[in-house]
Structures are given as structure tokens and as C-alpha cells.
Structure 1
Amino acid sequence: MINGEKKVENPIRWAMVGGGRGSQIGYIHRSAALRDHNFQLVAGTFDIDPERGKDFGMNLHVAPERCYPDYKTMFEEEAKREDGIQAVSVATPNGTHYEICKAALNAGLHVVCEKPLCFTTEEAKELEALAKKKNRVVGITYGYSGHQMIEQARQMIAKGDLGEIRIVNMQFAHGFHCEAVEADNPSTKWRVDPKVAGPSYVLGDVGTHPLFLSEIMLPNMKITKLLCTRQSFVKSRAPLEDNAYTIMEYDNGAIGTVWSSCVNAGSMHGQKIRVIGSKASIEWWDEQPNQLRYEIQGKPAQILERGMDYLYPEALADDRIGGGHPEGLFEAWSNLYTRFAMAMEAADCGETLKDIWYPGIEAGVEGVRWVENCVRSADNGAVWVEYQ
């Protein structure tokens, strides 16, 4: 059980790029990082408007002289301090991730980055090589993977409870953008602009989330080929898609599907993953994250609850409060930030932690790679392509 006791000897001196006033995601980064005393927010460049960013940072109790006008200045000035930052979180629009991550790694900083890591596999591989050269940790915020029942699912599959895995059905299909809301919403507008968002909209924005859940649950299954079809039902979003279907074949003979959408009218999140084996199936839905549905052929369906003694010990290790009390996305993110901190401290000591997992640079590379393959398939007429 996690109870707030320190996991690292000293809190990691931490900064943010982006995540300021009006950010959709900045607050959860700060809440997750600071919750278990593993990080200390000491600096930031929180806004593209320096004065607005400084005002916001001061309201977070960051010293005014450490609220910087841009990330380049911050990295340069913090490097001069004995108490300078050790890590930075990047919570900016997609088109800036590659540049900022590269600069942070070259400055010797650990990085936590929003996905996608960048736009191309070539860029992602470059960042991966740089992180390894500098011995720096790069964490990717696939926040849903920090839920306790995802670890339970991972353990059940590994221990053979489902039998041979045959089918993986995934979806993240919400309905909040079933109309052209970006016309009046700046935080959505950039997501449908290829210059800022990259080569896809919903494939990268939501589809990669359940994909990473499958990678955590099924680490030994690899995609060999896929077929993707994508649509722009709100025509002004073209060439970026607001709906896509992807079919995948795996190296063990299993098949998988991902439905990525923001036009599923009436749906809140609609993120689900169902793993089907030869003996049983499991299903997790992020709107009911404390439960895992377990269905054994020929027996009544079971609903497994977080925090209960019948779960595997690896899942209970992520517990923050006893069974019956709901945990949510903030707890899931906190679990990941705790792992990021432990990995960063180990790297600073020249060590590598082998007994924990987290969405690292490899997950960032794989997300970019999957989107790139999906776009290649869709833009060539929804054809099967070898997974490259």
C-alpha cells in the first residue's frame, strides 16, 4: 500500500513547461507529482505570455525569479544554480514536444512528456538514443495505466488465468467533438491543426491510450501488420481524422481492434479494453476504473474490486486506501509519477530499476510508430501494411 512515505531520498527538483492557467492537463501533473513528496516544484515557464506565466507561477508559490519567459532561458539559468532543476514536465501542444524534450535532455534533465512524444518515428528514435546516451529517464503520461486494476489485469494474463490470448478489443470513443467545437475552443483548435497536432487527431490523441494499456497487459505480444481506415465527419478537420478503426494482427496469431473517435455522440469517454483468452475474458472501462470484469466460460461473471484481498499482491501494492473507497485518475497519475521519481533517482545513482514498469521512452516511440503505420495504411486506401 502507498501511504505517502518517501520513495526517494530527497524530492526531485522539478519544473514545468506549459500547464499554466487554462491548461487542460497542468493541474493533474502538479497534483500527481507533488502528492507523495517525490517532487518539489521550484521553477517553470508556464505560459507563452511571460507575465501571465510569472503571475501563475507565483500563485503556485514558485519564486518570481524562477518563473521564466521561455524554456531555453529556464534550462540555461537553472544550470547555473547549485539547486537547479533535475527534471521537467512538458505540457504544451504536440508540435513543441520534440524540440523541448531534446533541449531538456541535452541540458541533462529527466523529462516527463505529454504524448505524442513527437511526430515521426525518426524523431522519436533520436530522442530515445539521446536519453540513453545521457542516462536520463523519459516518462510518457499514459495516465490511465496507473490504475490498480490495470496491474491486476496484467498479472491475471501473465499467470494464465485467461488461457491463450486470442482477441484484444480496444476503444477510446467519446462524443464531445461531434460538432466543430474547435471554432470557439482554443484548446481544441490546435488539436485539429496538422502543423501543431501532427499527422493525426484521434489516433494519437485518444487511440494510443488503450493501445498502451494493451502493451502493459500483454508485453510479449507484438503487432506484425495492421489495417486502418479514418474519417473526418466534421469536414473542416480534414486531413485529420475524428474517427478511425484499426485492425491488428499479432505475432502469436491473436487479433486486435482499436476504435478511436471524438464523434461518438452521447459517450463520455468510452475507453474500454477487453482481452479474450481461450478460458476467460477480462474487461476494464475507465469510467468505472475501480472494477475489472472477469468472465470465465460457463460460470457467472465476476466483478473484481480494487483494494480487496483476493487481488494479486502486485495490484495491491498500488493501493492508497482500503477497498470500497473509490480511487480515480489523480491516484493513477500519482502512481506513475512515483515510479518516474524512483527511476530518476536510480539513474542519478547509475542504477537501473528492474522491478517496476512505467510508460517510458520506449512507450513514446511505440505510440508514434503506431500512429505513423495507421496513417500510412489509411492514406493508401485502408490497406494491410507490414508493421514498420
Structure 2
Amino acid sequence: MLNGERKIARPLRWGMVGGGRLGQVGYKHRTGALRDNTAYQLVAGAFDIDPERGKDFGINIGVDGNRCYPDYKTMFAEEALREDGVEVVSIATPNGTHYEICKAALGAGLHVICEKPLFFTSEEGEEIKDLAEKKGKIVGVTYGFSGNQMLLQMRAMIEQGKIGEIRVVDLQYTHGFNANDQADKTSDSQKWRVDPKVAGPSFVLGDLSTHTYYMSQLIMPHMKIKKLLCDRQSFVGSRAPLEDNAFVLMRYENGAVGRLWTSSINAGCMDGHRIRIVGSKASLEWWDSKPNELRYEVQGEPIQTLIRAMPYLDESCNADERLGALHQEGLSESWANIYLKFAIAIDAKNRNDEETLKNLVYPDIDAGLDGIRWIENCVRSADNGASWVEFENIKALLV
């Protein structure tokens, strides 16, 4: 159980790029990082493309006005001159800026925590991975749902053979908030998501399903995709060539099959985020709308609902719980869990503690790279007339 006691020697000096007043994700980053005030201290930021608005925002969340910078380049340069300068930076900006900001941050000697999808191409991802290794820095990816500890329970049960051999993987992340084009015209945070120059080669595949794809890989780390087929649609025509709905079929190397539905035009749906893993003996199912519960269905036996924080759960699962079984946890706790693991990874990297890094489960640069490859292969399949393609490490620009 986590109770806020320090896991590292001292809080990391932390800065943000983006995540200001008009952003959708900045508050999630801050509540995640600062939930355990022993892990991070927010000391600086370039919070907004509008410098004055960014400074006003930074002051209102308690950052020294002198350390609220007009842009990330100024922040990196000025903070490098301080003995108490930032050590790690979070990038909470539109997709098209991630690569250049991440590269600059690593060049300035900073650890990086970045929004997903990391970059447009796997070539960019490989370059950043090489640079991070050269600089001895961590690059983490904010797959914010992946800190839900019942996912680790699923991972443990699969490793223990509780469901037998995996046969079917059924994934869904859908909602209905973009069923029409109103937000495309009125919301700054939505406009860029449907602009290929800023969002990259996909909309919902990158914005939604990379979360679910990573979570499936977290749960089933040894399950690798051999082939996939992606069929994507732009039901709101102005979004083309970016999709607002997609179906992906998958064939895994062990013979299992999978499907994924991702959509932002699932009209009336408030939360269609679910993962079901079907084995030869039993099945496991988790819903984001009920994150404290895990459904365990053994063939021929009564259906079981496992509850977060109970002593019958695996130690790896309960190690991340915070509030006890009587109290509900959710997305804020999930973000806090991954941010704490980022901090542990950064601290271990600073101390050359490779053993801790080897055993720590969190969304790292390799997870981010895998997400890029997932999008590239889906786009390649869809643009080839929804044909089956080998799951490859593509390095061609797909925009």
C-alpha cells in the first residue's frame, strides 16, 4: 500500500511545457505528480503559447513568476544556469511538437515525461531512444490509465496460468463526444487533434487506442502481434484523412486473435473503455468505468468479481493501492501511480541502479516506440484498403 512516504531521497525538481489554463491534460499531470509530495516539486514552466497567460496561470498554481517562461527554449536555457534548476520536464503539448521539445530537453540534460503518442514516426522514436541512452536519461510516456492496479492483477493471473493459454484479446476504447463537428470548430484542444500537420497520421488510433494497446501489452508482455488489419473511417467528412472510428483485427505470434474498436463518434457513450482476455480455461475482463473491479470467469464455475485492495490479490497489484478496499480509486490514482514510477525510474537512473530499472513496470521509451509502430502499421493497413500487413518497425513518414 502507498501512503505518501518517500520512495526516493528527495523530490525531483519538475517543470512543465504546456498543460496550461486551456489544456485538457495539464491538471491530470499535476495531480499525478504532486499526489505524493515526496516525489516532485513543480518549480518552473512554459505553460502556454501565450506567454502572459502562461505566466498568470503559473503564478495562480503557485509557481514563482520569475520561473514562468515564455517558451520551452528559454526555460531550458535559464534553468540550466540555476543550481536548483529543473531535473525533469513533462511535455503536455500537441503531438506535432513532442519530438522537437523532447530532443531539446534531453540535450539540456533533463529527464522527460511526454504525452502520447510520442512522435509521428518510429524513426524519430529510435533517434530519441538513442539520445536518451547517450545522455543517461529516462523518457516516460503518460499512458494515464495504465496505473490502475487491477491491470497488474490481470498480468499476474495470466503469468500464473489462471486463465490458461490466451486465445482471444478483445479491446475497446470509444466515446461519443465527437459525434458531430461542433468541437472541431469551437475547442482549441480539439481543433489540433483533427489537423494532420499537428496530430500526425491518425486521430482516434493515436489519441485513444494507443492507451488500450499499451495496457494490453502491460497485461500480456509476451504476446506480440504478427499481423494486423485496420479499417478506419471519417464519419465527419471534414476530419479526413484522419479517422474518427476504426476497427483493428490482430493475429498474435502464439496463434491468438484479437480485435479493437476505437471511436469518438459512439453517440451517447460516456465510457466505452474495456479489456477482455479469453483463455483456454477462463476469461478476465476490466472496465475503466469500474476500475476497482476485475471480472474472473472460470468455465463451469460461478462468475467472480475481484475487488481492489483485498488481501487475496497479487502483491504486485496491492503494492500500488492507496485508499483501502472501502474507498474507490480511479484515474487520479492511476496517474499518481505512473508518475511515482517515473520518479523511481529517474532516481534509479541517476544512481545507475540497473536492477531497479529492470524490475520496474512502467510506460517507458520502448512502450512509446511500440505505440508509434502500432499507429504506423494501422495506418499502412487502412491506406492499403484495409489489408492484412505484417507488424513491422516502419521508419517512413506516414503523413
Taking structure 1 as the reference length, the TM-score comes to: 0.99
Partner of 1:84: 85
Q: Structure 1: which 5+ residue stretches go unaligned? A: none
Report whether the alignment pairs 1:376 with 2:380.
Answer: yes
Q: Structure 2: which 5+ residue stretches go unaligned? A: 393-399
Shift of the alpha carbon at 1:186? 1.5
Q: Secondary structure at the match of 2:359?
A: coil
Give distance in 2, aligned partners of 1:17 and 1:345: 21
Q: Secondary structure at the match of 1:31?
A: helix
Partner of 1:360: 364
Cα deviation code 1:359-383 (max 9, x no counterpart): 0000110111100000000001000
Give distance in 2, aligned partners of 1:172 and 1:304: 22
Partner of 1:210: 212
Partner of 1:174: 175
Give distance in 2, aligned partners of 1:35 and 1:197: 30
Give distance in 2, aligned partners of 1:252 and 1:360: 25
Task: Report the count of equivalent residues.
Answer: 388
Q: Secondary structure at the match of 1:304?
A: strand
Give distance in 2, aligned partners of 1:68 and 1:175: 37
**Superposed, which structure 2 residues align to 1:112-131 within 5 Å?**
112-131=113-132
Q: Secondary structure at the match of 2:5?
A: coil
Shift of the alpha carbon at 1:324? 2.2
Give distance in 1, aligned partners of 2:211 and 2:300: 32
Moved over 2 A (4+): none
Partner of 1:274: 276
Give distance in 1, aligned partners of 2:134 and 2:270: 42
Shift of the alpha carbon at 1:78? 0.6
Partner of 2:250: 248
**Superposed, which structure 2 residues align to 1:63-82 within 5 Å?**
63-82=64-83
Task: Give, as a single letter, the amino acid of the residue that structure 1 aligns with 2:17.
Answer: V
Task: Give, as a single letter, the amino acid of the residue that structure 2 aligns with 1:19.
Answer: G
Task: Give, as a single letter, the amino acid of the residue that structure 2 aligns with 1:253.
Answer: G
Shift of the alpha carbon at 1:23? 1.3
Shift of the alpha carbon at 1:269? 2.2
Give distance in 2, aligned partners of 1:108 and 1:355: 25
Partner of 1:97: 98
Shift of the alpha carbon at 1:22? 1.9
Cα deviation code 1:234-288 (max 9, x no counterpart): 0110000000001111111111111110011111120101000000000001011
Q: Secondary structure at the match of 1:311?
A: coil
Give distance in 2, aligned partners of 1:252 and 1:382: 23
Give me the CA root mean square deviation. 0.7
Cα deviation code 1:65-120 (max 9, x no counterpart): 11100000110111111111000000001110011001001111001100010001
Report whether the alignment pairs 1:9 with 2:33.
Answer: no
Task: Give, as a single letter, the amino acid of the residue that structure 1 aligns with 2:220.
Answer: L
Shift of the alpha carbon at 1:123? 0.5
**Superposed, which structure 2 residues align to 1:249-328 within 5 Å?**
249-328=251-330
Q: Secondary structure at the match of 1:364?
A: helix
Give distance in 1, aligned partners of 2:185 and 2:64: 37
Task: Give, as a single letter, the amino acid of the residue that structure 2 aligns with 1:364.
Answer: G
Give distance in 2, aligned partners of 1:35 and 1:266: 32
Give distance in 1, aligned partners of 2:324 and 2:225: 38
Sequence identity percentage: 61
Shift of the alpha carbon at 1:169? 0.5
**Superposed, which structure 2 residues align to 1:216-255 within 5 Å?**
216-255=218-257
